[in-house]
Structure 1
Amino acid sequence: MKAWIIFGALALAQAAAAAPAEHWVASWGAAQQTPEANNLLPPADMQDATIRQVVRLSSGGTRLRVRFSNAFGTQALLIDAAHVARSADKATARILPGTDRALTFDGRAAISIPPGAEYLSDPISLDAPALSSLTVSFHLPQAPAGQTGHPGSRATSYYVHGDHTADADLPTAGKIDHWYQLTGVEVAATAGAGTIVAFGDSITDGRGATTNGDDRWPDILAARLQASSATRKLGVVNVGIGGNHLLTDGLGPNALARLDRDVLARPGAKVLLVLEAINDLGKLSREDVRTPQQHAQLVADLIGAYRQMIVRARGQGMKVIGCTVTPYVGSDYYHPDAASEADRIALNQWIRTSGAFDAVVDFDAVVRDPANPSRLLPAYDSGDHLHPSAAGYKAMANAIPLGLLR
């Protein structure tokens, strides 16, 4: 009898070991930072408050989990209720009836997230198709000690006092176009599924795109991938931060400081698209005339930072694609001079010809004015001569060969 018990226990253990683990991939994500003063949600509005945020998935699934962040908090962040649902209208707080699901954390409704940490919810079952929008609602009994968020959401969030996480709508809620304490949604996927991570500054983050319009270049790329059976298993996560730099902290930590959290920690990350450096280039001569040696040193330092990103991402098995820096002569903010433009040309030449990247996407060639290559094509200019328009973002997304991403 005891032999049969032992044999049965061994068989069950072997079956459990043989069962394939779920293959999780990042479907939506946002890079985290400390919001600037003008992008903070007033602490009084986060006290005993429900925050409802709308995000659009890239790849779909029937099981998902949500990643919350206290990366820049100075004390533990308490969430005592959290729900996820399909959005009935991505420009409102309404949810689709019958889709609300309560989230748990290790089987509990509440979780205390340590300062500097992120926390995944338990998986829940929900039919969430590719390119569908979700609402993520959570209740904060106390305002965070140090907010963590993503100001450039290009999506409207909602806040109201009390626990309304399960409500079908929040008609009296306040509205703000930022995300807070929310960094990812991951879906259980089939073998071969993966995620493309778009890493950059405001041009990736989508400055100039339409609020609630999902028309940034990574959004349009995600739709292109879903339209083809050959690439439908690939999702896209946008980890652009407006004002971000490769070499120094600007708006958000510098690129090398945030690479692990924003890129390498994303489950299923297979391809990294890098579009950075325009803020480093612009910053150098924004206020002072610099020497030729300083310009040469900047380009060398930017190349060194690119090489670091390549080595670290490849070390995690990722393919790394370099994107050329788009024109910005005439910028109302940077006022670049001839030396700055020469730096951009030199950096782009290295991106195109060095062989350091696994592949190159020439965004510069896509959006520049053929008659004046140092400037954006007027049809692709949002008006500030730095950020592309919605039409420019569409042209950028459509210029990416999908074969590079498979």
Structure 2
Amino acid sequence: MKRWMIAGIVALMLGQGAHAAAPQHWVASWGAAQQIPETNNLLPQADIQDATLRQVVRLSVGGSRLRVRFSNAFGTQVLTIAAAHIARSADKATPRIVAGTDRVLTFDGRPAVSIPPGADYLSDPVALDAPALSSLTVSFHLPQAPAGQTGHPGSRATSYYVHGDHTADADLPAAGKIDHWYQLTGVEVVAPPAASTIVAFGDSITDGHGATTNGDDRWPDILAARLQGASGTRNISVVNVGIGGNHLLTDGLGPNALARLDRDVFARPGAKILLVLEAINDLGKLSREDVRAPAQHTQLVADLIAAYRQMIARAHGQGIKVIGCTVTPYVGSDYYHPDAASEADRVALNQWIRTSGAFDAVVDFDAVIRDPAKPERMVAAYDSGDHLHPSAAGYKAMANAIPMGVLR
């Protein structure tokens, strides 16, 4: 009798487990790396006091249930958000929203949240039909200006600000405009269990210097569109965490690459592939102002390789595949004016990326955009004009050269 009762209880428990709701599978669909904005990229304190910020972002994979990740990563005091809304964008070059799509964001059921300094904070999930590659507006009211702004200057997207709480307004016709993002680091969606996220990690070439404002034509944007164009890859999202001026080894514009892995890569839900395109700023910085001894060039290449190995080891520890991207040509750059020794460093580093076997796969961006007759330079059609950053055509060529097979 006792055995029968125990068996019945076990069967009941198993039955309840079988009918329990499966946990939701969240993936990052849009994101941006955070940094302390330079002085010329800060919003004036007077403009952001008692102000609504409306910012436009583009998803990669779509979904019908979303949440937003806000950031106070570089704040020195608590950041208070008094109200927040999300909606479909009616026009990504304006603050207008699609009628009927406005949704209130809450935080543990409350309309306001106080985010501690150094922290990110997720909103509660909200129901909103947001197709793949659609644009959303995220609007939030700040009663007080942030003590230490956190942002992403290289948004290549226009944001809007106006005094007062206008988070629910269908349009902000009198708003000020600025082409940066602030206090906003991610939008995540509920996706099928097989869905995953690619994190594109790099400097201004990944961030999209030279791309079209509100044009979504950076190479990660085009890669996201390619993935949505094939049935076998529509569950793969792309998050761009490039920072203009970023370095592998030292802090530049934004923290160094190793310092930001946890926040910018490992914290992204669904992250399974890391695409790394970094080192051009390290290479250029070494001899930008002075001629360096051969031993210093040798040491730099060794240090860069060691940093790559650190990134690979740490990513593998999180179950993330790492794809190394070769460093693109930059001879002729008026900013770095690289000499023969700098070019030799780039060639040596690229040779290691291609042949070491340290990466799980390699994407040869160098081979895609270099001039066959002058391989130390970009081909003219892919050069933005500064001989350092690709043009929109160059970014398209880079994205189209990535083999889909390595991303599945």
Q: TM-score, normalised by structure 1?
A: 0.97
Q: 1:100 aligns with which of 99, 102, 114?
A: 102
Q: 2:122 aligns with which of 120, 143, 153?
A: 120
1:12 to partner: Cα distance: 11
C-alpha RMSD of the superposition: 1.6
1:268 to partner: Cα distance: 0.1
* d(CA) in 2 for partners of 1:153, 1:339: 34
- Helix, strand or coil: the match of 1:119? strand
CA deviation map 1:307-352 (0-9, x unaligned): 0000011111111000000000000100000000000000000000
Amino acid at match of 1:233: N
Q: 1:324-363 counterparts in 2 under 5 A?
A: 324-363=326-365
Amino acid at match of 1:242: G
Summarize the Cα distance change of 1:136–1:292 in structure 2 as closer, same or farther, 3 Å threshold.
same
Write out the 4+ residue segments of structure 1 that deviate beyond 6 Å after TM superposition: none
Match of 1:70 in 2: 72
Q: 1:188 aligns with which of 177, 187, 190?
A: 190
Match of 1:242 in 2: 244
Match of 1:219 in 2: 221
* d(CA) in 2 for partners of 1:91, 1:13: 52
Match of 2:290 in 1: 288
Match of 1:380 in 2: 382
Q: 1:198 aligns with which of 193, 200, 223?
A: 200
1:122 to partner: Cα distance: 0.2
Q: 1:231 aligns with which of 225, 230, 233?
A: 233
Q: 1:144 aligns with which of 137, 146, 158?
A: 146
* d(CA) in 1 for partners of 2:170, 2:332: 47
Count how many residue pairs are aligned between Structure 1 and Structure 2.
401
- Helix, strand or coil: the match of 2:301? helix
Match of 2:168 in 1: 166
Match of 1:111 in 2: 113
Amino acid at match of 1:272: L
CA deviation map 1:343-400 (0-9, x unaligned): 0000000000000000000000000011100001000000000000000000000000
* d(CA) in 1 for partners of 2:164, 2:19: 44
Amino acid at match of 2:160: Y
Amino acid at match of 1:162: G
Summarize the Cα distance change of 1:87–1:13 in structure 2 as closer, same or farther, 3 Å threshold.
farther
- The percentage of counterpart residues that share the same residue type is 85
* d(CA) in 1 for partners of 2:235, 2:154: 27
Match of 1:176 in 2: 178
Summarize the Cα distance change of 1:395–1:17 in structure 2 as closer, same or farther, 3 Å threshold.
same
1:14 to partner: Cα distance: 3.8
1:85 to partner: Cα distance: 0.1
Amino acid at match of 2:199: V
Amino acid at match of 1:289: V
Match of 2:253 in 1: 251
CA deviation map 1:239-260 (0-9, x unaligned): 0000000000000000000011
Match of 1:310 in 2: 312
1:18 to partner: Cα distance: 3.2
Unaligned runs of 5+ in 2: none
- Helix, strand or coil: the match of 1:307? helix
* d(CA) in 2 for partners of 1:122, 1:130: 21
Q: TM-score, normalised by structure 2?
A: 0.96
- Helix, strand or coil: the match of 1:240? coil
* d(CA) in 2 for partners of 1:13, 1:55: 43
Which shows bigger deviation, 298-307 or 16-25?
16-25
- Helix, strand or coil: the match of 2:140? strand
CA deviation map 1:49-82 (0-9, x unaligned): 0000000000000000000000000000000100
- Helix, strand or coil: the match of 1:109? coil
CA deviation map 1:251-307 (0-9, x unaligned): 000000001100011000010000000000000000111100000000000000000
1:19 to partner: Cα distance: 1.8
- Helix, strand or coil: the match of 1:134? strand
Match of 1:32 in 2: 34
